[in-house]
Structure 1
């Protein structure tokens, strides 16, 4: 028997333009706050939600629209004061901030932004109330930050997410395949991303188009049928 050919780890591009973002009930509040800039309380916005919900997509839309700089939470903790001061003058995105937040630097950045007139969009899986913060002054300041949460998808958004994920990978699927997935999958962004990625890999490995039998093979293998 021939050995199964493993798929190559081919690169694929996710669309990040504003027109590519799927607006529906679970994310309407977050989109509205992105569009409302610069009218944010304390010049900060914290965008929260589960993995794969579109936080990065929205932050990239805002970043490109406003020519913002981009750093991670880890990078924030390594910045000297003069660099923090420069970042505080203009729009800034901090991605994946959370329980290991560098409290001292975030506290100084908050004060510098208030002084110098910049804006900061933060993304996180968690609300700041769930971070194990120990610095009272930072806790007090974060209490003025607007929080916008993206919830897990409803049926309408889940179907649209599946369509976009397949399109991002340049995979063609029929409405029947989408319907087959819709009635069998858990309504979560993580599940949608996992299944589309797994189907892409399976299709490449077996050199088969994505069909209902191929989808059924995957779901049976993963115990979802």
Structure 2
């Protein structure tokens, strides 16, 4: 495990994933987290993690980077493909493949496998939807292990909101939290932006975060 998890209500785990960031483990991301925890004992050399924007997949990639000492696939390949040992990350995988070219990506993939290294692909869509034209690369991509991260549910978003608010020393009632959960965008990025805007408005007006204030923030275009 990355660290000893502290048990929270609702069956959550909270772990200090990287530096000062906090990572919550719950049903939407649990399977993906278990795969990262299982490294280097994967069933193969490659894993794909996919999910919608803001679901936490890039954060999980940073956890893998910390755990495995993984390096990002460079924008311009400076390391010869036959020296691609160790652990690597291809974040926004389809763009990485497009930038390098499918032939080059195939050489990199084969080199990593032959050296018993590891590569984590991260993308919005599952590998079967990546539309790889090169047959050899397509077969390898489609046959590797893959796991999706679902959009955060209310329980997970509620925990994240409370943590973000607590970090800013903001006290918000459960009624306001529930009000926000019913109306906010379902992503961690949206939760972070929402809390920042709540804090900014509450500070500017020197008032507590209430439903009327929360409604104004939700209706704002900022």
Q: TM-score, normalised by structure 2?
A: 0.77
Q: 1:17, 1:59 → 2: CA distance?
A: 10
Q: Could you tell me how far apart the structure 2 residues matched to 1:157 and 1:115 are?
A: 39
Map of 1:4 onto structure 2: none
Q: Which has the higher contact order (CA 8 A, sep 6+)?
A: 1
Match of 1:97 in 2: 93
Q: TM-score w.r.t. structure 1 length? A: 0.76
1:12 corresponds to which residue?
none
1:172 match: secondary structure: coil
Instruction: Say which SS state the counterpart of residue 49 (structure 2) adopts.
Output: strand
Separation in 2, partners of 1:210, 1:41: 51
Unaligned stretches of 5+ residues in structure 2: 1-15
Provide the rounded CA distance (Å) in 2 between the counterparts of 1:32 and 1:16: 14
Tell me if the contact between 1:91 and 1:119 (Cα under 8 Å) persists in the aligned partners.
yes
Matches within 5 A, 1:13-162: 16-17=17-18, 20-71=22-73, 75=75, 78-80=76-78, 82=80, 84-86=81-83, 88-98=84-94, 101-102=97-98, 103-162=102-161
Could you tell me how far 1:186 is from its partner in structure 2? 4.3
- Contact kept? 1:50, 1:125, Cα under 8 Å: yes
- Aligned-pair distance for 1:99? 5.3
Structure 1 residues 138, 26: CA separation in 2 closer, same or farther (over 3 Å shift)?
A: same
Alignment: residue pair count = 200
Q: Residues 210, 124 of structure 1: CA spacing in aligned structure 2 closer, same or farther, 3 A cutoff? A: farther
Aligned: 1:181 with 2:168: no
Structure 1 position 161, deviation (Å) = 2.2
- Structure 1 alignment gaps of length 5 or more: 1-14
CA distance in structure 2 between the aligned counterparts of 1:124 and 1:142, rounded to whole angstroms? 12
- Asked if the contact 2:94/2:130 (under 8 Å) is kept, the reply is yes
Displacement after TM superposition at 1:94 (Å): 1.9
1:201 and 1:139 map into 2 onto residues whose CA distance is: 48
Deviations 1:6-64 (A, max 9, x none): xxxxxxxxx74399311111111101111111222331111111112111221111211
Offset at 1:100? 6.2
1:10 corresponding residue in structure 2: none
- CA separation in 1, counterparts of 2:55 and 2:163? 12
